[in-house]
Amino acid sequence: MQLTGKAIIRVDGQELRTDPGATLNPGGVKRNPIPDSRGQTHYNEENVSPELECKLHHGADISLKAMNDITGATVIFECDTGAQFILREAFTLEPLTLDSKEGRAPLKMSALTCEEV
């Protein structure tokens, strides 16, 4: 069985050039353990937003300002195993910082939802 080793990331149809090792947290529910005075453990829940992180390769065709300004985008995270995730109403979380020696900038995004298709 093949395991995920690579991912292609597309933002509104544009494929990004990225380093291997992009990560995706599809979001969901986080459960926090809460012990009580009787030695039993209960939990409460909180929602966790989807989050995608990658290192973007910067070239003349990539506008850092445009990447910083992304809101309301459709992002596809496609694994080499065929699994696909769609992030809807995606947005950039923080301004990109370009490393001029490496020609890369970390890109962090979140979204309203993330669905596995």
The pLDDT score that the predictor gives to residue 91 is 98
- Which residues are within 8 A (CB) of 89 and not within 5 positions of it... i.e. 6 or more apart? 71, 72, 73, 111, 112, 113
Pairing of strands 28-35, 14-15: unpaired
CA gap 21, 44 in Å, rounded:
32
Instruction: Find out whether 54 and 16 touch, Cβ atoms under 8 Å.
Output: yes
Rounded to 5°, angle at Cα 17 from 81 and 51: 65
Calpha distance 75→22 (Å, rounded): 13
CATH code of domain 7-116:
2.40.30
pLDDT tens sequence across 56-93: 999 999 999 999 999 999 999 999 999 999 999 999 99
- Residue ranges of domains in the chain: 7-116
Distance between CA 27 and CA 82 in Å, rounded? 20
| Mean of all residue pLDDT scores within the chain | 97
Q: What is the pTM of this model?
A: 0.90
CB-based contacts of 93, cutoff 8 Å, min separation 6:
51, 108, 109, 110
- pLDDT at 87 (0 to 100): 98
Question: Is the distance from CB of 107 to CB of 55 less than 8 angstroms?
Answer: yes
